[in-house]
Structures are given as C-alpha cells and as structure tokens.
Amino acid sequence: MNADWFASPLYADEPEARQARLLETLCEQMGQGAQVCEPFRRFLEGRQWLPLSEVRALEDLPFLPVSVFKRPEPLSFLDNGQVYRILNSSATTGQQPSRIAIDRHTAKLMTRGVTAILADFIGSYRRPYLVIDCAPDSGGAASARGAAVQGLMAFATEVCYALRPAQNREREKSGPDDLVLDIEQIRKFLQKYRDTDVVVYGFTYMLYLHLGGGLPSSAQALGNLSDEYGLPLLPKAHILHSGGWKRLQQLAIGKSMFGSRVAASLGTKAHAVLDYYGMVEQLGVVYPDCSQGNKHAPRFAEVIVRDPLTWAPCGAGQTGIIQVLSALSPSFPGQSLLTEDMALVVHEDGCACGRRGIAFRFAGRVPKAEVRGCSDVHQRRRT
C-alpha cells in the first residue's frame, strides 16, 4: 500500500472514488489469499457469492463471520515462518478467543492505520500517556488489552501504567484480574504532567471501575489524590476508551453518564472523553466518535450496515448488523467481516463534522451473540 492511503485529510475523499479504490485492493488481497489458503478458497467459491472478478461494488464482496477466527489454529495466508505475532482476543472461561496471525508488514500497516486515524481526531504530536491498566510484564493484562495499548505507543512520549496487581488483603477490594490503582505511579505522573496535554487510555469497563466510581476502593484512592493535589487533577487530558458496553448498559450507565463521571474524576471536560469502536480482527482500524457523536470509516476501510433479514445495506435511519472492510489485513482474511454488533445509520454522507461517507452509531450486540470478551469479560470474572 502506498503512503497516500494514510495521508491527511483521511476522511475527505469522495465516497464513490474511495470505495472503488478500496474494492480493487480488497479483491486483490482476497484473490491472493485464496491461492494459499484452501479453506478461504472454498469459501469464496460458495454458491451465494459472485466470483471476485465479477464484483463491482463493496456490498457484493463475500463476507466472513468474525466467529470464524475463534479456532485454535489461526486462519491465515501465511506460512509458519512468516508469522510475526499471533494476536488473541480476550475470552471468558470455556470460550475460544479469536486468534489472528500477522506478519511484520501487516503489523506495520495496523500501526500506521491507528496512528493516522487518531491523529485526525486528537492531533499527530506525541504526548504522555496514562494507561488505566497494568504493565504488560506484570502478568495482569489480557492480550486484547495489551495489543490495543501497543497500537497507541506511536503517540506516546512516555507511558505510565495506572494499575498494579493487588497485594494480600488488597484483593478483597480489587477489581478484575486483582488489579488496584497504583497510587505511587499516578502521583509521579501528576507531579510531572498535571498541567500538560496528556492522554488517558483504557478499556471502557476498566475506566468505569477505576475512574467512574464503579470500584469503591479506586474512588476512595482518587478522592485522596484530589485532597492532596486539589481538582482538577488532569485538566488538559484527552480520555480515550474502547471495548464493550454490555456490562455498563446492564448497570444503566449510558455514554453520557459514563463520560461525565470519568471526566469529573480527573477534572477535564466531558467532550474530552472519546469512545472508539474496534476489534482484534481489524486491529488497525478504529472508529472514534466525531463531534456529532457519529463514527466514520477512514480511506482504507468501510462499514456496511446490513438488514438482518434481507442482508441488504441499510439506509439512513435504519439499524442493522455491522460489516467491516479493511485493506490493512493482507496476512489473514480480514478484508470483509460480518460482526456480531449492530449500528444505526445516521447519514449515508454529509455529517456536519465534515467527514465524508457513512456516519453510524454503535447500537449494541446482535441478540444472543456470544459475549466476545474485551472489557465485557471483566465483569463476568467478578461474578
């Protein structure tokens, strides 16, 4: 892929031209994959699909269900010697995690993708990061969380991990994975960067527990820090979060309440809390909220929302199942995937934020879909 795939402005291309270019790349990647992956070749030859040579629109591309990656051996286009890393999604006990095999080229594409997307929303300059998780070498971070953090490292001048494994009696009041706030590390971060433009990142449920009042011990610890330093603690913070909303919805915690609570704990504004949708099966593509509360596809990706009864693409005002397409997955069949998530199509084009193409909002899980881990997994471990 050429560098112009990632050039700014990332969301300004005329939709039809962008889709035509993306279609050509996806067909090429899928065709090459079929030559080396027999199961994928058989899938493409299924009667329900047009041959790739006859596909003229993104909506006509074959799509795999994301559940196909929940298998012990990753479905990939690589020989064993080409595998650089295998990414695992989080999964509850008894559930098979998704396993994604990538080579170094794909890893670089994914990093460039996340970098270009977030630069469009929060700027391209590097800042200190406060990660609401434990350090990877402490043994507490789940793989999907660790991979998501690694994807953000290109933005960080320094990374401070705000959680640590609980010790002895602390476990009685700890959060999922026996994690508690590492007050000493947070204190050092505040001493250096309290009045600096910083980024706070974590999975949605982890932020709720430790910054949003969900875990009493963390709320008390933050209160003690506020007494020590005074509010605001981090007035210039941008707060990024990703992962499932299912557990928060069960607690009647919506996006507005979540954003207000998390922002208030650090003394920043609620509009500085940025939610983005993503998955390990397409780790290089994330979908942050724009200023209008909508999500958009970048130049190297697309989203199609499909009617669950007819599989036809939904129009503005309709809700359906999310299909994600990405040109950043040449090492595995992640070009066209049907997710287990729902979305509302807000606009087919013309969002007031200025970004072109479809504007959509996440609308929850497909009914009876398997809970897929990420931040949702942590509440299940607590019960």
- φ, ψ for residue 194, nearest 5 deg: -55, -40
Are residues 250 and 241 in contact, defined by beta-carbon separation less than 8 angstroms?
Answer: no
**Cβ–Cβ contacts within 10 Å for residue 268, how many?**
21
Q: E strand or H helix at 358, and its extent?
A: none
Contact (Cβ atoms closer than 8 angstroms) between residue 343 and residue 362: yes
Q: How confident is the model at residue 382 (pLDDT cuts 50, 70, 90)?
A: very low
Q: Which fold has domain 107-278?
A: Rossmann fold (3.40.50)
- Mean pLDDT score, 235-260: 84
Q: Does domain 3-94+294-365 have CATH number 3.90.79.10?
A: no
Percent of all residues in the chain with a pLDDT value above 90, rounded to a whole number: 59
Q: How far apart are CA 281 and CA 331, in angstroms?
A: 12
List, in sequence order, every beta strand (DSSP E) within the chain. Answer: 64-65, 85-88, 99-102, 127-131, 156-161, 163-165, 179-181, 198-203, 237-242, 273-277, 287-288, 295-296, 301-306, 319-326, 336-347, 359-365
- The CA angle 81-84-85, to the nearest 5 degrees, is 125
Once rounded to an integer, what is the mean pLDDT over residues 324-340?
96
Average the pLDDT over each of 28-32, 131-135, 242-246, 269-273 and give the range with the smallest value. Answer: 242-246
Cα dihedral 78, 79, 85, 86 in deg (nearest 10):
70
Whole-number pLDDT of residue 115: 87
Higher pLDDT: 2 or 366? It is 366
Domain residue spans of the chain? 3-94+294-365, 107-278
pLDDT over 90 at 27, yes or no = yes
Q: What integer best gives the mean pLDDT of the chain?
A: 87
Nearest to 119 by CA among 288, 271, 262, 263: 288
pLDDT tens digits, 173-226? 887 778 999 999 999 999 999 999 999 999 888 899 999 998 999 999 999 999
Long-range contacts of 15-20 (CB under 8 A, 24+ apart): 15/349, 15/356, 15/357, 15/358, 18/299, 18/302, 18/356, 18/357, 19/57, 19/58, 19/302
- The C-alpha atoms of residue 83 and residue 221 are separated, in whole angstroms, by 43
Q: What is the DSSP letter of 277?
A: E
pLDDT at 374 over 60: no
Q: What distance in Å separates the CA atoms of residue 200 and residue 233, rounded to the nearest whole number?
A: 12
* 16: Cα within 13 Å, side-chain hemisphere: 1
Give the span between the Cα atoms of 146 and 265, in whole angstroms. 24
Q: DSSP assignment of 185-247, as one string?
A: HHHHHHHHHTTS-EEEEEEHHHHHHHHSSSSHHHHHHHHHHHHHH-S-SSTTEEEEEES--HH
Please tell me what DSSP assigns to residue 313. Answer: B
DSSP-based three-state secondary structure for 56: coil
Say whether pLDDT at 90 is over 70. no
Same fold, 3-94+294-365 and 107-278: no
Express each pLDDT in 140-161 by its tens digit. Answer: 444 556 666 766 777 789 999 9
The residues, any chain, with a CB within 8 Å of residue 61's CB and separated by 6 or more, are 23, 26, 27, 30, 55, 325, 335, 336
Give the model's pLDDT for residue 84. 86
Is the Cβ–Cβ distance between 243 and 51 less than 8 Å? no
Can you give the pTM of this predicted structure? 0.84
- Is residue 13 pLDDT above 50, yes or no? yes
